[in-house]
């Protein structure tokens, strides 16, 4: 087990997922250029800003999956199934989200589309559900594997990140049931959805930085847990505020707590980055001497 994880690198063997992420970035760039030149609203229901946000978000999400999937310790067969499920789901999402918005049709909740648009929307819903299922599969896998390898900090960060992503999935299913993103007077589920899924970047960044610095392992583990718990509690505050039908951008106890908790995470990232850069500066003279 240890030897396996020592040999494993981030993104190793996941060229297909990286290419899929790049494809999403290309779609997002096309949407961004269109928005810059034209009005993003295409009647009757299209909004290129939504297509841009979707393509950019899925691109970042798939890149994160590409980074961590090598650490999941799946068998080759299971890893291939998971990989291609993410690839095919993402490609369909890029296409349906972009094409439909450019046609002026809401890809999910259209009130004006024809039979083909309705079928495409139903397929989109099933694709979204399949992503939820495979995220659960990957989450369970990371909860099962041991953390006694030399990448234990990354595994811990990944666990927290995927638990947050499950909350993001719940928010997504909530939006599907509402056929929209708003609940109550001003609760915006897209905020919960976005912050939850961005844990796949924010918490992995903290874990990666802590993994690279040479300090006491217990100290690094405590910092990682503190950062991950802060982010998770921030998500909880956001969820409660939205469930009350309130905006997360108003003055109130829960929004203020959210900001404080996210600031704690940020301080830990800055501290870890500072230690990382200091260590890098100390190593540079040795590297220069060796090169001579």
pLDDT at 240 over 50: yes
pLDDT at 1 over 50: no
Task: Give the mean model confidence (pLDDT) for residues 103-122.
Answer: 90
Which of 216, 196, 210, 54 is CA-nearest to residue 124?
54
Burial class (CB in 10 A: 0-12, 13-18, 19+), 282: exposed
Which of 206, 67, 173, 86 is CA-nearest to residue 137?
86
Rg over alpha carbons for the chain, rounded to the nearest Å, is 21
pLDDT at 47 over 90: yes
pLDDT at 8 over 50: yes
Q: How far is CA 104 from the centre of its chain?
A: 28
Burial class (CB in 10 A: 0-12, 13-18, 19+), 285: exposed
pLDDT given for residue 3 in this prediction: 41
Burial class (CB in 10 A: 0-12, 13-18, 19+), 71: buried
Q: Work out the mean pLDDT of the chain and round it to a whole number.
A: 91
Report the C-alpha gap between 263 and 134 in whole angstroms.
31
Could you tell me if 83 and 25 are in contact, meaning their C-beta atoms sit under 8 angstroms apart?
Answer: no
How sure is the predictor about 264, in pLDDT bands with cuts at 50, 70 and 90? very high
Place of tokens 């990232």: 269
């Amino acid at each position: 087990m240890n030897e396996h994880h020592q040999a494993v690198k981030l993104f190793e063997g996941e060229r297909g997922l990286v290419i899929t992420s790049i494809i999403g970035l290309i779609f997002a760039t096309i949407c961004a250029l269109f928005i810059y030149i034209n009005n993003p609203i295409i009647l009757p229901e299209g909004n290129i800003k939504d297509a841009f946000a979707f393509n950019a978000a899925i691109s970042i999400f798939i890149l994160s999956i590409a980074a961590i999937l090598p650490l999941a310790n799946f068998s080759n067969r299971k890893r291939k199934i998971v990989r291609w499920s993410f690839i095919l789901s993402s490609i369909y999402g890029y296409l349906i989200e972009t094409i439909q918005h450019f046609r002026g049709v809401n890809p999910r909740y259209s009130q004006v589309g024809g039979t083909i648009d309705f079928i495409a929307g139903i397929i989109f819903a099933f694709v979204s559900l399949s992503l939820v299922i495979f995220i659960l599969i990957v989450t369970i896998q990371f909860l099962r594997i041991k953390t006694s390898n030399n990448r234990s900090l990354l595994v811990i960060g990944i666990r927290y990140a995927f638990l947050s992503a499950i909350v993001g999935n719940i928010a997504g299913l909530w939006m599907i049931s509402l056929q929209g993103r708003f609940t109550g007077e001003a609760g915006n589920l897209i905020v919960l959805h976005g912050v939850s899924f961005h844990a796949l970047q924010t918490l992995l960044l903290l874990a990666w930085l802590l993994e690279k610095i040479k300090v006491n392992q217990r100290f690094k583990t405590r910092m990682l847990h503190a950062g991950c718990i802060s982010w998770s509690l921030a998500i909880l505050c956001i969820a409660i505020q939205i469930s009350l039908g309130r905006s997360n951008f108003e003055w109130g106890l829960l929004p203020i707590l959210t900001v404080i908790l996210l600031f704690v995470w940020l301080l830990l990232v800055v501290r870890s980055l500072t230690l990382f850069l200091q260590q890098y500066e100390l190593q540079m003279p040795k590297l220069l001497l060796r090169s001579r």
